[in-house]
């Protein structure tokens, strides 16, 4: 099976662009599995947040998946096109990464 | 594309009495105790606070002699811990873990962690290797998330603790051989940061991310061991990596900890089957030299049996064994698994219909940074705690001991660091950060090689040649493969962008992972016996002459090994 991930790219202040990646997948694999595979074999510079991979415990991997806020590690890859974009209500950092830390846990908030 | 360098080389400078590196159970506890001791604290994590490591993922139990379920005494827990450690435990550390454990679990209880209760007392479950029910937990499979949330709440309420997420500590800063702070990279901005501190605590967790199949988060490549090595500290027992025999392998299961099958297997008598759908554990329980002859295989033996079946060509399609509950009535499965049955169904798993596939996965690291009972390393001003510390569990760890260790050692390290901060002035000098700033400044954009792919290569080397069953040939091959990968990445970091650059992060990870991989493989090669989690196919059985710990240090980039007698004497308190 083959999934196409259309991903919004770019850092804050740059004009967003969209890159599409075709990836083979097996039934049950997550969007996060797909993103990690892209980094390993196509574009290591693709930025997204994640930590726990399987447990759905860290809650770092939230993004817009086909327009809905969801976890990349629990939504499955599907055949055909899936669009990915950063969270719309958080400050963009780069690609799919946004500022999600509470304000008093950031480097820049107080210094 | 801008042509400016990826890293912002004029650093932001921060100061505190105590710097805690890593905000898992151990680091959060250390920060709380250091602040209680009157120190100003910076608690830094490369991920989000309380989210990045093993603590938040743990789903099972926490061991301590609370005596709530049945009468118990910490010395019983201590005896079990030493037995599992097969003669290699640092008795001072093991005693500290067992003696202080109950106090820490009660403190967590007062902080409303929500230990499961029964008839008004904390419920304690029986787990393998413990002589009585000793393991507290939070329902359903929520121990880790509850522990993390509770400690985060305490941090919110405490004063004097500054928390900084997305801050990856790259090196400990040294002056005249003493730790005086650290140098870090702020991931979202590419900003370099220098941190002056009178005491630094490494609480970075374990190294299981070195292996292909693991239960690790993305932050568990063993940073802390590399930080300590480069700072001149000793590592101990690095060859002892614990593999969990029945980690989930297939079908793809998301939203669940891959080590979840254990309690269900015990509760429901799940059967391990090979590709011929035949139970095979008994073959190894009776025939193999490692067997103790009893039916219930220990974790080590289950790992052995599965590995050998796969090698003999009788593995499941994904390369493990089947775990089957098909003989169990559906109603009983539902009763035992509760709401978990529905989560499994979302993953297309119906246990009454089909088996799942399982395989040994890297799960915990017994070895680590060598500390004394104050959690101080051999480098003045440098402390360590949690899974990053080696010694308490010797050659193998009892289930439930790791979270207790994180609490107890974390608290102890925090207190010790605050004590030191009270006594001395800051040793900080900007020169101490210079080598690391120079390294980061040299980061350059390059198209190849892909560091994410090199990490996968390293994981394959470690899994195939430094896995649970080792030989001289395999270990030598691993050591040269690791050296080759080191040469492949060179001494100049790769980078791709300023903001949140995964290429630079992966390169820095590889710098650490390769050093740590070497510090596992080298003592594994030297230890020509089988003991606990270190099993040599070419040296079966325990050799009394090897009842010693191996210490790893680095000088001029080369790893050196030496042997020491295990530390005895249970002077805790
Ligand atoms: C899936 C799973 C289930 C488990 N279940 C149990 C169980 O039921 N019972 C039990 O006793 N044990 C269990 N364990 C083991 C136990 O969870 C860990 O040993 C323990 O939580 C370790 O705590 P820690 O604070 O030392 O490290 P961690 O919780 O791993 O925290 C380390 C932190 O350091 C951060 N860090 C790492 N490097 C850097 C750096 N360079 N700069 C800044 N920050 C850094 C990481 O992001 C992370 O947040 C389990 C482990 C796993 C993986
Ligand atoms: S990666 Fe941790 S919740 Fe998705």
Whether B10 maps to a domain, the answer reads no
Q: Scan for tokens 């979270």, then name that residue.
A: B403
In this structure, which residue's CA is closest to atom 31 in ligand 1? B24
Quick: pLDDT tens for B448-503: 899 999 999 999 999 999 999 999 999 999 999 999 999 999 999 999 999 999 99
Which ligand has the minimum distance to the alpha carbon of residue B185?
1
- Shared-domain flag, residues B22 and B34: yes
Whether B572 maps to a domain, the answer reads no
Whether B8 maps to a domain, the answer reads no
Q: Cβ–Cβ of A47/B191 closer than 8 Å? A: no
- Shared-domain flag, residues B67 and B174: yes
Q: What is the pLDDT of residue B290?
A: 47
Whole-complex ipTM: 0.97
**Residues 65-104, chain B: which have Cβ within 8 Å of A?**
none
CATH assignment of the domain containing B540: 1.20.58.100
Whether B101 maps to a domain, the answer reads yes
CATH assignment of the domain containing B41: 3.50.50.60
Is omega for the bond preceding B449 within 30 degrees of 0, making it cis? yes
Whether A27 maps to a domain, the answer reads yes
Query: How many domains in chain A?
Result: 1
What's the B206 CA to ligand 1 centre distance in angstroms?
6
CATH assignment of the domain containing B322: 3.90.700.10
Q: Does A76 touch chain B (CB under 8 A)?
A: yes
Whether B73 has a pLDDT exceeding 90, the answer reads: yes
Between helices B74-84 and B91-110, what is the axis angle to 10°? 130
Q: Does A51 touch chain B (CB under 8 A)?
A: yes
Q: Could you tell me which residue, B341 or B93, shows the higher pLDDT?
A: B93
Whether B5 maps to a domain, the answer reads no
Quick: pLDDT tens for B194-236: 999 999 999 999 999 999 999 999 999 999 999 999 999 999 9
- Shared-domain flag, residues B269 and B210: no
Three state DSSP letters for B135-194: EEECCCCCHHHHHHHHHHHHHHHCCCEEEECCEEEEEEEEECCEEEEEEEEECCCCEEEE
Range of the domain at B114: 15-241+363-435
The answer to whether the CB of B215 is under 6 A from ligand 1 is yes
Q: Cβ–Cβ of B51/A51 closer than 8 Å? A: yes
Whether A111 has a pLDDT exceeding 50, the answer reads: no
Q: Which of B361, B394, B427 is the last residue of a domain?
A: B361
Give the catalytic positions of B in this structure.
Answer: 299
Q: Does B254 touch chain A (CB under 8 A)?
A: yes
Q: Which residues of A touch B166 (CB under 8 A)?
A: 101, 106-107
Interface A–B counts its CB contacts (< 8 A) at 139
The answer to whether the CB of A73 is under 6 A from ligand 2 is yes
- Shared-domain flag, residues B222 and B267: no
- Shared-domain flag, residues B109 and B126: yes
Closest residue of chain B to A58, computed from CA coordinates? B51
Q: Which of B400, B435, B470 is the last residue of a domain?
A: B435
Query: How many domains in chain B?
Result: 3
Q: Cβ–Cβ of B56/A52 closer than 8 Å? A: yes
Q: What is the pLDDT of residue B288?
A: 46
Interface residue of B191, B460, B502 to substitute, partner A, most A CBs within 10 Å: B502
Whether A36 has a pLDDT exceeding 50, the answer reads: yes
Q: Cβ–Cβ of A44/B503 closer than 8 Å? A: yes
Q: Cβ–Cβ of B347/A97 closer than 8 Å? A: no
**Residues 370-429, chain B: which have Cβ within 8 Å of A?**
none
Q: What is the DSSP letter of B373?
A: T
Whether A60 maps to a domain, the answer reads yes
- The token duo for B55 is 């603590």
- Shared-domain flag, residues B136 and B259: no
Q: How far apart are CA B147 and CA B57, in angstroms?
A: 10
Say if residues B324 and B355 touch (Cβ distance below 8 Å).
Answer: yes
Q: What is the pLDDT of residue B297?
A: 62
In this structure, which residue's CA is closest to atom 4 in ligand 1? B58
B79: distance to nearest CA of chain A, Å? 33
Contacts of A13 (CB under 8 A, 6+ apart): none
The total number of residues shown for chain A amounts to: 111
Mean predicted lDDT score pLDDT of chain B: 93
Confidence of residue B573 (pLDDT cuts 50, 70, 90): very low
Whether A111 maps to a domain, the answer reads no
- Shared-domain flag, residues B123 and B250: no
Q: What is the pLDDT of residue B300?
A: 74
Arithmetic mean of pLDDT, B426-438: 97
Half-sphere exposure of B245 (CA within 13 A, CB side): 24
- Shared-domain flag, residues B49 and B191: yes
**B324 to B32, B192, B340, B354, B443: CA distances (angstroms):** 45, 52, 16, 7, 50
- Shared-domain flag, residues B23 and B169: yes
Whether A110 maps to a domain, the answer reads no
Q: Cβ–Cβ of A58/B166 closer than 8 Å? A: no
Q: Does A54 touch chain B (CB under 8 A)?
A: yes
Q: Which of B309, B328, B361 is the last residue of a domain?
A: B361
- Shared-domain flag, residues B172 and B75: yes
Whether B3 maps to a domain, the answer reads no
- Shared-domain flag, residues B21 and B109: yes
CATH assignment of the domain containing A88: 3.10.20.30
Whether B6 maps to a domain, the answer reads no
Range of the domain at A87: 2-105
Which ligand has the minimum distance to the alpha carbon of residue A35?
2
Whether B2 maps to a domain, the answer reads no
- Alpha carbon B141 to its chain centroid, in Å, reads 19
Arithmetic mean of pLDDT, B409-420: 98
Q: Which residues of A touch B450 (CB under 8 A)?
A: 39-41, 44
- Shared-domain flag, residues B396 and B413: yes
Q: What is the pLDDT of residue B328?
A: 92
> pLDDT above 90 covers what percent of chain A?
95
Q: Does B52 touch chain A (CB under 8 A)?
A: yes
Quick: pLDDT tens for B225-284: 999 999 999 999 999 999 999 999 999 999 888 988 887 887 788 899 999 999 998 888
């Amino acid at each position: 099976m083959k999934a196409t991930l259309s991903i919004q790219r770019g850092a804050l202040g740059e004009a967003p662009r969209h890159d599409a990646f075709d990836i083979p997948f097996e039934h049950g694999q997550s969007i996060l599995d797909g993103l990690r595979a892209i980094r390993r074999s196509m574009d290591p510079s693709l930025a997204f947040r994640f930590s726990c991979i399987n447990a759905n415990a860290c809650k770092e991997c939230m993004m817009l998946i086909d327009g809905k806020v969801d976890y990349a590690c629990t939504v499955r890859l599907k055949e055909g096109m899936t669009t990915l974009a950063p969270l719309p209500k958080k400050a963009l950092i780069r690609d799919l990464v946004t500022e999600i830390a509470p304000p008093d846990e950031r480097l820049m908030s107080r210094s | 594309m801008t042509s400016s360098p990826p890293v912002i080389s004029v650093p932001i400078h921060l100061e505190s009495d105590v710097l805690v590196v890593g905000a898992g159970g151990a680091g959060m506890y250390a920060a709380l105790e250091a602040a209680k001791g009157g120190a100003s604290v910076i608690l830094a994590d490369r991920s989000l606070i309380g989210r990045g490591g093993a603590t938040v993922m743990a789903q099972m139990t926490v061991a301590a002699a609370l005596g709530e379920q049945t009468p118990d005494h910490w010395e019983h827990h201590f005896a079990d811990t030493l037995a599992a450690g097969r003669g290699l435990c640092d008795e001072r550390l093991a005693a500290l873990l067992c003696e202080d454990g109950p106090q820490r679990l009660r403190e967590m209880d007062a902080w409303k962690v929500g230990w499961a209760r029964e008839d008004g007392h904390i419920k304690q479950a029986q787990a393998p290797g413990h002589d009585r029910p000793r393991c507290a937990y939070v329902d359903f499979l929520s121990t880790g998330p509850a522990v993390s949330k509770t400690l985060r709440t305490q941090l919110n309420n405490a004063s004097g603790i500054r928390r900084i997420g997305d801050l990856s500590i790259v090196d400990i800063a040294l002056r005249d051989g003493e730790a005086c702070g650290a140098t870090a990279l702020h991931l979202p901005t590419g900003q370099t940061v220098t941190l002056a501190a009178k005491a630094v605590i490494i609480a970075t967790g374990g190294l299981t991310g070195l292996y292909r199949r693991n239960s690790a988060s993305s932050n568990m490549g063993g940073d802390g061991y590399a930080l300590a090595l480069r700072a001149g500290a000793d590592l101990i027992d690095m060859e002892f990596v614990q593999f969990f025999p029945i980690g989930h392998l297939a079908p793809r299961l998301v939203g669940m900890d891959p080590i979840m099958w254990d309690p269900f297997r015990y509760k429901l008598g799940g059967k391990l089957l090979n590709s011929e759908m035949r139970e095979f554990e008994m073959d190894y329980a009776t025939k193999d030299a490692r067997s103790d002859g009893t039916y219930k295989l220990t974790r080590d033996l289950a790992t052995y049996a599965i590995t050998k079946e796969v090698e003999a060509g009788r593995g499941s399609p994904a390369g493990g064994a089947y775990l089957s509950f098909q003989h169990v009535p559906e109603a009983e499965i539902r009763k035992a698994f509760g709401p978990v049955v529905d989560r499994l169904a979302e993953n297309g798993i119906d246990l009454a219909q089909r088996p799942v596939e399982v395989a040994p996965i890297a799960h915990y690291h017994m070895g680590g940074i060598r500390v004394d009972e104050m959690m101080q390393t051999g480098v003045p001003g440098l402390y360590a705690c949690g899974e990053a510390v080696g010694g308490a569990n010797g050659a193998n760890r009892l289930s439930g001991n790791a979270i207790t260790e994180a609490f107890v050692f974390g608290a102890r390290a925090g207190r010790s660091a605050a004590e030191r901060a009270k006594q001395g002035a800051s040793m900080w000098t900007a020169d101490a950060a210079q080598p690391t700033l120079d390294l980061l400044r040299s980061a350059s954009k390059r198209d190849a090689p892909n560091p994410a792919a090199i990490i996968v290569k390293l994981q394959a080397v470690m899994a195939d040649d430094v896995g649970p069953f080792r030989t001289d040939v395999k270990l030598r091959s691993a050591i040269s493969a690791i050296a080759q990968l080191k040469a492949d990445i060179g001494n100049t970091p790769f980078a791709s962008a300023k903001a949140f650059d995964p290429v630079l992060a992966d390169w820095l990870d590889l710098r650490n992972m390769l050093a740590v991989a070497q510090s596992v493989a080298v003592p594994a090669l030297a230890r020509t016996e089988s003991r606990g989690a270190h099993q040599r196919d070419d040296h079966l059985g325990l050799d009394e002459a090897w009842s010693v710990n191996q210490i790893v240090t680095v000088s001029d980039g080369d790893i050196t090994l030496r042997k020491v007698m295990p530390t005895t004497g249970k002077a805790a308190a």
